Amino acid sequence: MTVGFTVFDTAIGFCGLAWRGDVVLGTSLPEGSAARTRAWLLRRFPDAVEGPPPPVVGEAVAGIVALLGGERRDLASVPLEMAGVPEFHRRAYEVARAIPPGKTLTYGDIAHRLGQPGSAQAVGQAMGHNPFPIIVPCHRVLAAGGKDGGFSAHGGVGTKRRMLVIEGALADEPTLF
């Protein structure tokens, strides 16, 4: 079955999504431009063909656009391809998917919910390898004390903070400019 992908505009820039059938294989946060996001997806899915998504995947795209536009959208029902995802990561992603827009948990909170209270660092590593950003909302997972923690997407922690502001989890902070 052919792997398809699409690049679409959102309030934070051009995101991307790849699928096979009605299942999402991966997503991309903005890479700085539509062309860079497209290139990133093609590096990850070299045999993918760009085109319009099937209806189920189109609903996921619409949900991502709406969420990043400030609407409270639950993406927990979007079907994800978890083959090849380590079991611990899969379990951590399940907990992260249950965090509603506008809320956050810490890496330690997720470790406790997994019944492994000493595994906060492993949770952080799982979030850093998340193949489904936005759908698996790793941006809603913070370091101890509510600190940002890391964020491996283009724009780093600034992108994470922007997403949290859009969702209402952080106050919009004034800048000097």
Q: Which residues are catalytic?
A: 138
**Nearest residue to 56 (alpha-carbon basis) of 28, 78, 27:** 78
Indicate the helix (H) or strand (E) that contains 98. none
Strands across the sheet containing 49-50? 23-28, 13-20, 3-10, 49-50
Structure tokens at 109: 């909170």
The Cβ of residue 90 has, within 10 Å, a number of other Cβ atoms equal to 13
Q: Which of 66, 162, 152, 148 is nearest to 107 (CA)?
A: 148
Q: Are 3 and 20 in contact (CB under 8 A)?
A: yes
